[in-house]
A and B are shown apart, each in its own frame.
Chain A
Amino acid sequence: MNPTAEPSRRPEWAEDVHRVLTANRVRQVAYVPDAGIARLIVLCGEDPAMVSVSLTSEEEGVALLAGAALGGDRGVLLMQSSGIGNCINMLSLARTCEFPVLMIAAMRGGDGEFNPWQVPMGQAAADALKLMGARVFTVDDPAAAGAIVDAAARTAFETETPAAVLLSQGMIGAKTFEH
């Protein structure tokens, strides 16, 4: 099986999340590619009501969403859990100025992980976000993804705070290198 060709056990969760982002008037979509959110990135990229911004590193996305919020746009940052570590200091911007930063991260380093190099950041991701004052939501059931992203989006945009949704490996499937 090639995981990049079949990134999710339940691809329809990506459609649910895209609908929720639309309903929350999300326009700017910043991302660093990941297999687990590949379908969602494509859906947002094909949406004429959204502007996708490909990043070289995830902290760029935190700064981008601060600027977006300053100008009245809503946005989301899509990434892999390793990218959460790259965001940490830049989250100071979101906290100090109370900017909404909605993040959706595909988790690595959890149950079934084959790559030990993914484990330290993956295991620390939720706590690291909380230490920086972000609200953290976790999705284990693909059928709940839409509702949980909606709750996180409302939290981020209505209370102007960073909020992260972590998509567990139980939900998106642990990546393997089997071909």
Chain B
Amino acid sequence: MTADTGRQRRETYSLRRREVARKLVANRDGLLVVSGLGQPTWDVTAAGDHPLTFPLWGAMGGAAMVGLGLALARPEHRVLVITGDGEMLMGLGALATLARAGPRNLAVAVLDNESYGETGMQESHTAGATDLAAMARAAGIAAATTVAEEKDVAAAVTRLRRDDGPVFVDFKVRAETLPLVMPPKDGGVLKHRFRQALATAMEYVKD
């Protein structure tokens, strides 16, 4: 019963993950992006491969913490972590760590399709009663919300891009299998191109 209800719900969300990802990184200027493994990395790449995106191909559960280290190192830049529900669920402790560290320039967007997209679309815990935004709030991230309607997306993107962090938004997106759009896979290449772009990115920084 629970499984059937969840399956129906996750396939009916009106938000489409690729479109949300495109809006999250539009006009990105000096925005630094860390994407969680699997579909979020393909979504962000589909929006335009960029040297100031660090797309994870592994390190499941670590995306938000990579974002925190980057945000502390580069306080003059906005850092946006774009990850999935399964990836976030594996590193839930990071929500408490982010709340305690309190980085003003860090935001986390979860593209929550209530599914493990790379392994056969098995339901994740968010297909049931688990509410990631409520967990983030309980962990101490006051600015944590769930967005499931198109009319709320623009304001959520603005919060993620501009408001004092840490900001957390759980986007409920339709469970769907989309074409793979892959960034470079070589970790050294991804690291070096990011650093190189960062070294010359000051011209993008806005206050």
Chain A residues at the B interface, C-beta cutoff of 8 Å? 27-28, 51, 53-57, 59-73, 75, 89-90, 92-93, 96-99
Residues of B within 8 A of A53 (CB): 68, 72, 97, 100-101
Q: Smallest distance from the beta carbon of A63 to chain B beta carbons, Å?
A: 3
**How far, in whole Å, are A67 and B80 apart by their CA atoms in the complex?**
12
Contact of A54 among B74, B97, B198 (CB under 8 A): B97
Contact of B65 among A54, A64, A99 (CB under 8 A): A64
- CB <8 Å contact, A63 and B73: no
**How far, in whole Å, are A96 and B96 apart by their CA atoms in the complex?**
27
Q: Does B190 contact A (CB under 8 A)?
A: yes
- CB <8 Å contact, A28 and B187: no
Q: Does B188 contact A (CB under 8 A)?
A: yes
Residues of B within 8 A of A90 (CB): 59, 61-62
A-contacting residues, B32-75, CB 8 Å: 32, 34, 54, 56-63, 65-74
Residues of B within 8 A of A68 (CB): 69-70, 72-73
Which residue of B has the minimal Cβ distance to A64?
Answer: B69
Residues of B within 8 A of A51 (CB): 72
Q: A55-B97, A60-B65 are in contact. Are A96 and B58 (CB under 8 A)?
A: yes
Q: Does B191 contact A (CB under 8 A)?
A: yes
Count A-B contacts at CB 8 Å: 114
Chain B: number of interface residues, binned into ranges: 35 or more
Which residue of A has the minimal Cβ distance to B106?
Answer: A67
Q: A66-B66, A99-B191 are in contact. Are A73 and B93 (CB under 8 A)?
A: no
**How far, in whole Å, are A112 and B70 apart by their CA atoms in the complex?**
40
Which residue of B has the minimal Cβ distance to A52?
Answer: B101
A-contacting residues, B75-109, CB 8 Å: 91, 93-94, 96-97, 100-101
Residues of B within 8 A of A71 (CB): 32, 69-74, 198
Q: Smallest distance from the beta carbon of A134 to chain B beta carbons, Å?
A: 16
Which residue of A has the minimal Cβ distance to B34?
Answer: A67
Contact of A28 among B69, B100, B188, B190 (CB under 8 A): B69
Contact of B195 among A63, A72, A89 (CB under 8 A): A72
Q: A72-B195, A75-B69, A97-B190 are in contact. Are A63 and B59 (CB under 8 A)?
A: yes
Chain B residues at the A interface, C-beta cutoff of 8 Å? 32, 34, 54, 56-63, 65-74, 91, 93-94, 96-97, 100-101, 187-188, 190-191, 194-195, 198
**How far, in whole Å, are A27 and B97 apart by their CA atoms in the complex?**
17
Q: Smallest distance from the beta carbon of B202 to chain A beta carbons, Å?
A: 12
- CB <8 Å contact, B73 and A73: yes
**How far, in whole Å, are A90 and B63 apart by their CA atoms in the complex?**
11
Residues of A within 8 A of B69 (CB): 28, 63-71, 73, 75
- CB <8 Å contact, B194 and A70: yes
Residues of A within 8 A of B101 (CB): 53-54
Which residue of B has the minimal Cβ distance to A28?
Answer: B72
- CB <8 Å contact, A54 and B100: yes
Which residue of B has the minimal Cβ distance to A65?
Answer: B69
Most chain A C-beta atoms within 10 Å of own C-beta, residue among B71, B73, B96: B73
